[in-house]
Amino acid sequence: MPNLLVSITPLLLAPAGRTPPVLAALIAELRLVERAAASLGDPWPADEQQPVVVLLDAALAATAPDLEALSQRAALLGIGAVGTHGPADGVPDGVLCGYLAADASERQARLALRAALRHAGALVAARREAAEASQRTAEIAELTRIGVALSTERDLPTLLTMILEQARRLSSADAGSLYLVERDGGPRPGEGGRETERGAGEAVLRFKLSQNFTLPDLPLSEFTVPLNASSIAGAAAVSHETIVFDDAYALGPGDRFQFNRSVDEKFGYRTKSMVTIPMKTHRDEIVGVLQLINRKRDAAARLATPADVEREVLPFDAHAVSLVSALASQAAVAIENGRLYEDIERLFEGFVMASVTAIESRDPTTSGHSSRVAIYTTGLATAIDRVDSGPYGRLRFSREELRELRYASLLHDFGKVGVREQVLVKQKKLYPSDLAIIRHRFQFLLQRADLQYERERAQYLWEHGRTNYEEALARLERSRGDVRDELQRFLDAIVRANEPTILSEGTFEELAEINARLYVDFDGTEKPLLGDDELRYLMINRGNLDARERREIESHVTHTYRFLDQIPWTRELKGIPLIAWGHHEKLDGTGYPRGVRAEDIPVQTRMMTISDIYDALTATDRPYKRAVTAERALDILHDEAKHGHVDTVLLSAFIEAKVFEATHPGEGRRSSAGRRITPA
């Protein structure tokens, strides 16, 4: 009979008044629990672990709904009348483990009853093994599910919370803590030997997270402990071994470890059973320590009193430790991956910001533009996330998509590194050197007028002496003054025309007049007072760039795309080149560089276009143009929307959500109040 029967007394169900006398004596001898059974349709005892033997005659068999199913639950020992050798009709032989007639000998009865008891024990063992196998299968499936969940979570704080929650759930632990190894450029535990002492480049354990079902609001903060055997967590980390206590309070002064009761005493808690597990990667490297406290019979029980602790708390047995250890291994890999992902994110963030710095160092007048555009664009995306109707009612941006949009916005002008610096930083219509040449030319002509005045005055004195000299001198001074005034008027006109304009304005007849005037240069060559190329630049009627220069500036978009397209982006960031490429496109196809229409412009790019235009109009750090107010900038954007250049729905969200106030709160309140943008 299986050992199971030693601790659980078998139950024997017998038909009332029909048990053979020889069996009755054996039942008493073996001290079996006997129960009279009038029917086999009654509910079975609740304890599935108790072996059951049924003395089955024809009358009792007739009350069983399913003898085949009954034979899987209990050992069926057939009994019958004197002189019979098998069960009566209606009792199949296949469900019985033996048969006894009423006149069977004591030896036959003893052998049959013991065989039935062994069979009943075997059925219990089979049920237990099946239940354990089912539990193991469920546990493996659960560990697999947890592993998948951990492997897909990239946010480290969320990952740590998930690890501790799942570990507590698997083990029915009331509380738990999680420590992470922090390294400062020194050797890592598990690499070239195990760390046992602190020193230069050392590692420490940082207490990162705590959970307590009984006391969910414990006010605990982060702290560090040495990565050595001075603490239970440190000892588990440096030894790479799991440490288990059935009762932490049973540790005495002579034990290897000491338990600090200060937290328990402060908050009225009782730590009893505890397991501390090092989280090791596949390279046997320790990344942290998982500590669980108070394994409970009932996971929903609260340990509010010492009596609750004594009643509910169990030791962490080998099976519980094995389960949590498996989870700890998965957690170690997930944490290492999470940290690696964080490192990569920090590295890429540094690369992006360094790239932005490189862009803006070439053109300091646009400093901060890329960052502001990123703020506006991601702010607009967040606003669109809250819209439940219209063409973007179902549009939602994930954390990864917002990050992709932010990087595309930060890098949208990177192609300016491929534009000549003199064009990039050009502030007026003329380059400074060109204006200096013009000023030098006019200074030369002013000096020539003075020289001509002196020559004519000397010539008059030579020819006429002092006769009528005062009248002649006045006439010469008027003539010189007229020349000087005209030259100054021309120069002032040139300086005025040199200022860039935001919109088309003004006429250039005076410039044409200057161009038509000739002068004789140093070498005696006759030249126009204003050269044709100089005139062409000064007659730019929008901005400060001529067509060639504007094409060169506009080429920065293509340079940006080609540069970004060379980077092996991750799957989450692969849309960056395309998003950045079209920020100067217009929905009606009149933009550049490709002239694509609305259907070929991603919604992220449309958002960036609005942000880029708004910041370019309102930026106060550009000496080549005047900054306009937020109100005027929104009016200009409104006109752009009416003419089909920018997205009306996105512009409405930009205004209604006051996205433009993200960098300068309070701007544009008056102009944006109640405004809705509608297509022309």
Domain stop point among 515, 544, 573:
544
Q: Tokens for 658, please give them.
A: 């006051």
Classify residue 680: in a domain, yes or no.
no
Q: Which residue has the tokens 């239970």?
A: 232
Q: Say which amino acid occupies 93.
A: D
Domain stop point among 520, 544, 568:
544
Classify residue 149: in a domain, yes or no.
no
Mean pLDDT value of segment 589-595: 93
640 contacts 676 by C-beta, under 8 angstroms: no
- 411 and 555 together in one domain: yes
Confidence of residue 246 (pLDDT cuts 50, 70, 90): very high
- 554 and 535 together in one domain: no
- 335 and 192 together in one domain: yes
pLDDT at 197: 41
- 336 and 203 together in one domain: yes
- 27 and 108 together in one domain: yes
- 398 and 447 together in one domain: no
CATH number at residue 556: 1.10.3210.10
Mean pLDDT value of segment 578-605: 94
- 439 and 384 together in one domain: no
The domain in which residue 446 lies consists of 432-544
Classify residue 427: in a domain, yes or no.
no
Angle at 481 between CA 480 and CA 486, to 5 degrees: 100
59 contacts 53 by C-beta, under 8 angstroms: no
pTM summary value:
0.61
β-pair partners for 157: none
Task: For the chain, report the end-to-end CA distance as a whole number of angstroms.
Answer: 93
Average the pLDDT over each of 346-360, 455-469, 663-677 and give the range with the smallest value: 663-677
The span from the CA of 299 to the CA of 50, in Å, is: 26
- 630 and 644 together in one domain: yes
Percent of the chain with pLDDT over 90: 43
- Coil, strand, or helix at residue 78? strand
Classify residue 106: in a domain, yes or no.
yes
Mean pLDDT value of segment 460-471: 90
Phi, psi of 518 (to 5 degrees): -110, 155
- 540 and 553 together in one domain: no
Classify residue 284: in a domain, yes or no.
yes
Q: Which residue has the tokens 């951990």?
A: 150
Classify residue 328: in a domain, yes or no.
yes
pLDDT at 434: 92
pLDDT at 83: 84
CATH number at residue 108: 3.40.50
Classify residue 325: in a domain, yes or no.
yes
Classify residue 368: in a domain, yes or no.
yes
pLDDT at 641: 95
- Least Cα distance to 559 among 413, 401, 341, 664 occurs for 413
- 401 and 444 together in one domain: no
Altogether, the residues listed in the chain come to a count of: 680
> Over 50: is that where the pLDDT of 225 sits?
yes
pLDDT at 672: 42
- 172 and 290 together in one domain: yes
> Over 60: is that where the pLDDT of 539 sits?
yes
Rounded to the nearest integer, the mean pLDDT of the chain is 85
Domain stop point among 80, 112, 130:
130
β-pair partners for 78: 56, 99
Q: Cβ–Cβ contacts within 10 Å for residue 234, how many?
A: 21
* DSSP code of residue 2: -
Domain count for the chain, please give it: 4
Q: pLDDT tens across 353-363, in order?
A: 888 888 887 77
- 539 and 566 together in one domain: no
CATH number at residue 299: 3.30.450.40
The span from the CA of 196 to the CA of 185, in Å, is: 17
Secondary structure string (H, E, C) spanning 150-173: HHHCCCHHHHHHHHHHHHHHHHCE
Confidence of residue 679 (pLDDT cuts 50, 70, 90): very low
pLDDT at 426: 83
